[in-house]
A and B are shown apart, each in its own frame.
Chain A
Amino acid sequence: MKYQPVIGLEVHVQLKTDTKIFCGCSTQFGAEPNSQTCPVCLGLPGALPVLNKKVVEFAIKAGLSTNCSITPRSIFARKNYFYPDLPKGYQISQFEDPICQHGWLDIKVEGQEPKKIGITRIHMEEDAGKLVHGELSGSGDGSGVDLNRACTPLLEVVSEPDLRTSDEAVSYLKQLHGIVTWLGICDGNMEEGSFRCDANVSVMPIGSEKLGTRAEIKNVNSFKFVKQAIEYEIQRQIDLIEDGGTVIQETRLFDPNSGKTRSMRSKEEAHDYRYFPDPDLVPLVINQEWVERSRQELPELPDKRQQRFIDELGLPLYDAEVLNGSRVLADYFEAGVAAHGNAKLVANWVMGEITRALNDSGTSIEFSPVTPSQLAELLKLVDKGTISGKIAKTVFDEMWKSGKTPGAIVEEHGLVQVSDCSAIEGIIDEIMAANAGQVEEFRGGKEKVFGFFVGQVMKASKGKANPSVVNELLINKLKG
């Protein structure tokens, strides 16, 4: 018998806000355990949550970018269960009426037509704290609780069970990852858990209408592992059925070392989360005006922007693709174009000098010491003939190191291009006198020597001679 896998994904997106979802504690990663806590995120008696407005704004943007409708009135609910990393004994989440509903993403898998994957819902919730095991002094085999992460804002994005293969799942995930990082609402760091995924996997005989029993695979934290975990799980379920067994509904953990999933020992009791509306929070009402305002603020999505770079800025496809590698890079480029005007020239510099300098110094574009307007300023110096293109590279390196403006560097180092004919003529005369042999060779028809003379003149002028002036004068003089 042939089987049809059915996959749905639940993705937790950690939002890049400065503070937690319900209190003013910092969300900075890596602080001393429990140092970023307050009565609210510690779940102390009497503490009350107050919603971070930015979380709502981020959620709306995520919804609009995934074709969701924004729920006009949504509410928060309590999900009740006991666990040491959950300070209040309940997680504040959304259950009925989540903020975004009924969206979709188009995914592309090589060799297939584009496919629409439904998004059931996106809701806001708080993260739990962290448990550490076996590293603590004097606690025997106990565990330690760090609540710095407790109350960090998350979006949970739930897909419809529309995915059929591990490749489709990965494509969907990459697409979603691209969107949330592009929107600037998530740092996308999968290793630190900023973007993590649970996969619901089942199989059914091809042609069947009835979905098989699904297993939920928890916290798979790379695209590669998602693929492995899903493929393993599909095969495991098929083998099980073929052997006459039945798949049970359970939670399974993926072990990246073995490439296998294993059952988390099933809890003694079925979960009963006893969801109910959180009486400490009030309904969230989002009117059409707010939605429209958010829509205006949306950055252009990568696909559209790339096309615009080609259509409106006249860039070749390759350049448009490279520059759209990240939103900040594209922003940098566009700011440069706005300040300078010549898109292709700016593109060459961003893809050339800037990228090289970033690589050499191991920084990323948002920390570039040379701003787009400084870059434009530099290029304008070339346009005006103040400096040569070659000198511009030297000036750029100095800008990168010192953070000074190009004008200041040019002045300080006396790098202004020499276009004064008499000064250049003097240099040419000296060089011709010193290299009489080569002058004869040129006049004898060996025109390749011309390059030698250009090099000598530029060298003698420390690169400051205007190359076109040099060319013109040299030709005249050499031809005698």
Chain B
Amino acid sequence: MRLAALIISFLCQKSLNKVRDTSNMNIIEMTIHELHSALKSKKLSSLEATIAILERIKAVEPKVSSFITVTPEQALASAKNADEQIASGHCNLLTGIPLAIKDIFLTEGIRTTCGSRILENFIPPYSATSWEKLRDRGAVLLGKLNQDEFAMGSSNECSAYGVTRNPWDTTCIPGGSSGGSAAAVAAGEAIATLGTDTGGSIRQPASHCGCVGLKPTYGRVSRYGVIAYASSLDQVGPMTRDVADCAAILDAIAGYDPKDSTSVNMPVPDYSASLKEGVKGLKIGLPKEYFIDGLDPDVQKTMTEAIETYRRLGAEFIDISLPHTDYAVATYYLIATAEASSNLARYDGVRFGHRAEAGNLLEMYTKSRSEGFGTEVKRRIMLGTYALSSGYYDAYYVKAQKVRTLIMNDFIKVFNDVDVMLTPVAPTPAFKIGEKINDPLQMYLSDIFTIPVNLAGTCAMSLPAGFSANGLPIGLQLIGKPFDEETILRAGYAFEQATEWHTRKASI
């Protein structure tokens, strides 16, 4: 059904409520908190908000391509449902809020591709825990967002469903792998989104698209129902328009899940409660390995200004060192690809997913997988298989796990002296589409500031901190102690209150 016709049919059912003119309300730029108060005060209905955003999606998708699948029918139905909840007085912060999630999250009955051809027709029989938690709080699902295939990529160019473009400059990449999740927030196509972060896949696109992105501590959010890339590094997190929204989503999705052995059974604080406590006396570390000569001048300038802002707010800066930073990318690409090579073995054409025509079993395996996977995925499967294979296991995989220990110890040591660390998210603002696609190693190296955090398992957030001379957003990264998301959220909130970067909108 075409979107317009669908909307009309829903409006007809909703005969009692006259359609109001909402064009002056700028729904598409609202935060969760803004929309929530509009819903609560009945200035807006969830249906009106959902329709406005669906219209926006329709208008800008040809330019941005944030979505792999839009689900207008389900969205309108849940919006209507949410309005009934609100009318009966049951309205929590997420009731009726239109959200979209990366296509890596399983959604029962809704196609889930993970950006891959191999899952082109995969309709999951169950849903990811993190999405269920949002849904149970009344959130409205707009659709599934574009991403690099199996979350393997830093530019969104590795999606089987076309490249997502950066809403600030459509000739640039939005970042990856949660590129669709970042672009949708920046382009007004969702109030907030969920992404996943294995080596920077939330923070780097958030930085490139000018939104807030949080990678929680490993184990804080359930991975159940999230298609695995590298199981010991993957973590789910929110991508939002401001820090308060980020805390609100984290409040909803954090917590122990008995279905995920690696989710941690410890109390979850109220992340929204402590946002406003300020940064006076906060000890912020500046790791010297992150402020290198090769840093883009605009990024460098943004960092200098951000440090100035924090100083004004009363934070204290301490020069620190994470001596093994230079080894993180190598470590990451051995561990992540090894785990991926095994995680992706289940795509064999037997129980689900693409199956090639073949005369015998071996041929079915090799053809199905070769037709179904894209080049980057194959490259990483190859690398990971090699790293685990007999004769190389100790030299590559075990060595990498040992270096991971050293990297982790760097973090533990530093956190004896500081509360958070402040670093750039990426060495440069968003690069041009096609710029690095033929040089995997250069592409991998662009994740140098985000990868160590995943290896250390701790939490970090990217938030808007400035713009390049070309008008591209630049984010700053706040790295927190394990399970201390509260402090980075608080520090981020203080920064946001003192600056106006997050209020700027991409014009598209």
Q: Do A and B touch (CB < 8 Å)?
A: yes
Residue numbers of A with Cβ under 8 A of B are: 39, 42-51, 78, 80, 82, 84, 87-90, 145, 147, 272, 274-276, 279-282
Q: Which of B203-226 contact A (CB under 8 A)?
A: 223-226
Question: Is there an interface contact between A50 and B361, defined as CB atoms closer than 8 Å?
Answer: no
Q: Which of B42-50, B254-262, B409-417, B472-480 lies at the interface?
A: B254-262
Question: Is there an interface contact between A45 and B338, defined as CB atoms closer than 8 Å?
Answer: no
Question: Is there an interface contact between B342 and A276, defined as CB atoms closer than 8 Å?
Answer: yes
Q: Known A43-B346, A50-B259, A78-B342; judge A272-B390 contact (CB<8 A).
A: yes
Question: Is there an interface contact between B388 and A80, defined as CB atoms closer than 8 Å?
Answer: yes
* Cβ-based interface call for B119 (8 A): yes
Tell me which residues across on chain B come within 8 A of A147, comparing CB atoms: 351
Closest to B222 in A: A48
Q: Known A276-B393, A279-B231; judge A89-B124 contact (CB<8 A).
A: no
* Cβ-based interface call for B128 (8 A): yes
* Cβ-based interface call for B397 (8 A): yes
B330 to chain A, nearest CB (A): 18
Q: Known A39-B125, A82-B365, A276-B397; judge A90-B348 contact (CB<8 A).
A: no
Give complex CA distance A90, B341 in Å: 11
Closest to B105 in A: A46
Question: Is there an interface contact between A45 and B261, defined as CB atoms closer than 8 Å?
Answer: no
Closest to B150 in A: A45
A146 to chain B, nearest CB (A): 12
Q: Known A39-B125, A276-B393; judge A46-B227 contact (CB<8 A).
A: yes
Question: Is there an interface contact between A274 and B361, defined as CB atoms closer than 8 Å?
Answer: no
Question: Is there an interface contact between A48 and B224, defined as CB atoms closer than 8 Å?
Answer: yes
Tell me which residues across on chain A come within 8 A of B122, comparing CB atoms: 45
Question: Is there an interface contact between A45 and B351, defined as CB atoms closer than 8 Å?
Answer: no
Most buried by B among A46, A87, A147: A46
Give complex CA distance A272, B393 in Å: 11
28 A-B Cβ contacts within 8 A? A39-B126, A44-B125, A44-B126, A44-B351, A45-B106, A45-B112, A46-B106, A46-B128, A46-B226, A46-B228, A48-B223, A80-B341, A82-B345, A82-B365, A84-B361, A87-B350, A87-B351, A88-B345, A89-B346, A90-B342, A145-B350, A145-B351, A272-B390, A274-B390, A276-B393, A279-B231, A280-B262, A281-B261
Q: Known A45-B119, A45-B124, A145-B350; judge A274-B342 contact (CB<8 A).
A: yes
Closest to A80 in B: B342
Give complex CA distance A46, B262 in Å: 13
Question: Is there an interface contact between A46 and B338, defined as CB atoms closer than 8 Å?
Answer: no
Tell me which residues across on chain B come within 8 A of A282, comparing CB atoms: 261-262
Q: Which of B333-359 contact A (CB under 8 A)?
A: 338-339, 341-342, 344-348, 350-352
Tell me which residues across on chain A come within 8 A of B114, comparing CB atoms: 45
Tell me which residues across on chain A come within 8 A of B344, comparing CB atoms: 89
Question: Is there an interface contact between B346 and A88, defined as CB atoms closer than 8 Å?
Answer: yes
15 further contact pairs, Cβ within 8 A, besides A45-B106, A45-B122, A50-B260: A46-B106, A48-B259, A78-B342, A80-B341, A82-B345, A84-B361, A88-B346, A89-B344, A145-B351, A274-B341, A275-B388, A276-B339, A276-B393, A282-B261, A282-B262
Count of CB-CB pairs between chains A and B under 8 Å: 103
A-contact bits for B114-139, CB 8 A (1 contact / 0 none): 10000100101110100000000000
* Cβ-based interface call for B302 (8 A): no
Closest to B339 in A: A279
**In-complex Cβ contact of B261 among A50, A87, A89, A274 (8 A):** A50
Question: Is there an interface contact between A48 and B338, defined as CB atoms closer than 8 Å?
Answer: no
* Cβ-based interface call for B85 (8 A): no
A-contact bits for B271-305, CB 8 A (1 contact / 0 none): 00000000000000000000000000000000000
Q: Which of B124-159 contact A (CB under 8 A)?
A: 124-126, 128
Question: Is there an interface contact between A84 and B232, defined as CB atoms closer than 8 Å?
Answer: no
* Cβ-based interface call for B446 (8 A): no
B401 to chain A, nearest CB (A): 8
* Cβ-based interface call for B166 (8 A): no
Question: Is there an interface contact between B346 and A51, defined as CB atoms closer than 8 Å?
Answer: no
Give complex CA distance A88, B232 in Å: 17
Residue numbers of B with Cβ under 8 A of A are: 105-106, 112, 114, 119, 122, 124-126, 128, 223-228, 230-232, 258-262, 338-339, 341-342, 344-348, 350-352, 361, 365, 385, 388-390, 393, 397
Question: Is there an interface contact between B345 and A89, defined as CB atoms closer than 8 Å?
Answer: yes
Tell me which residues across on chain A come within 8 A of B260, comparing CB atoms: 48, 50
Give complex CA distance A90, B225 in Å: 19
Give complex CA distance A46, B341 in Å: 15
A211 to chain B, nearest CB (A): 22
Most buried by A among B226, B230, B388: B388
Give complex CA distance A275, B394 in Å: 11
Give chain A's interface secondary structure class.
loop
Closest to A40 in B: B259
Closest to A79 in B: B342
B300 to chain A, nearest CB (A): 36
Give complex CA distance A296, B497 in Å: 62
B2 to chain A, nearest CB (A): 31
Tell me which residues across on chain B come within 8 A of A82, comparing CB atoms: 345, 348, 365
Closest to A281 in B: B261
Nearest 5 interchain pairs by C-beta = A89-B345, A279-B232, A279-B231, A274-B388, A46-B225
Question: Is there an interface contact between A45 and B397, defined as CB atoms closer than 8 Å?
Answer: no
B229 to chain A, nearest CB (A): 11
Give complex CA distance A84, B346 in Å: 10
Question: Is there an interface contact between B342 and A280, defined as CB atoms closer than 8 Å?
Answer: no
Closest to B388 in A: A274
Give complex CA distance A82, B227 in Å: 20
Tell me which residues across on chain A come within 8 A of B352, comparing CB atoms: 44-45
Q: Known A45-B122, A45-B227, A46-B224; judge A90-B345 contact (CB<8 A).
A: yes
Give complex CA distance A89, B345 in Å: 5
**In-complex Cβ contact of A51 among B126, B228, B261 (8 A):** B261
Closest to A24 in B: B259
Q: Known A88-B346, A90-B342, A274-B388; judge A50-B258 contact (CB<8 A).
A: yes
Question: Is there an interface contact between A42 and B261, defined as CB atoms closer than 8 Å?
Answer: no
Most buried by A among B114, B128, B342, B388: B342
Give complex CA distance A147, B352 in Å: 14
Tell me which residues across on chain A come within 8 A of B226, comparing CB atoms: 46
Give complex CA distance A50, B224 in Å: 11
A128 to chain B, nearest CB (A): 12
Closest to B366 in A: A82
Tell me which residues across on chain A come within 8 A of B361, comparing CB atoms: 84
B109 to chain A, nearest CB (A): 14
A22 to chain B, nearest CB (A): 9
Tell me which residues across on chain B come within 8 A of A280, comparing CB atoms: 228, 231, 261-262
Most buried by B among A49, A89, A274: A274
Tell me which residues across on chain B come within 8 A of A275, comparing CB atoms: 388, 393
Question: Is there an interface contact between A49 and B261, defined as CB atoms closer than 8 Å?
Answer: yes
Closest to B114 in A: A45
Closest to A274 in B: B388
B164 to chain A, nearest CB (A): 21
Give complex CA distance A281, B338 in Å: 16
A460 to chain B, nearest CB (A): 72
Give complex CA distance A45, B127 in Å: 11
Closest to A34 in B: B351
Closest to A78 in B: B342
A268 to chain B, nearest CB (A): 9
**In-complex Cβ contact of A44 among B124, B259, B261, B388 (8 A):** B124
B80 to chain A, nearest CB (A): 29
Tell me which residues across on chain A come within 8 A of B125, comparing CB atoms: 39, 44
Give complex CA distance A96, B397 in Å: 15
Q: Known A45-B227, A46-B128; judge A80-B261 contact (CB<8 A).
A: no
Tell me which residues across on chain B come within 8 A of A48, comparing CB atoms: 223-224, 259-262
Question: Is there an interface contact between B232 and A274, defined as CB atoms closer than 8 Å?
Answer: no
Q: Known A276-B393, A276-B397, A282-B262; judge A89-B223 contact (CB<8 A).
A: no
B14 to chain A, nearest CB (A): 35
Tell me which residues across on chain A come within 8 A of B393, comparing CB atoms: 274-276
A317 to chain B, nearest CB (A): 51
Give complex CA distance A474, B225 in Å: 87
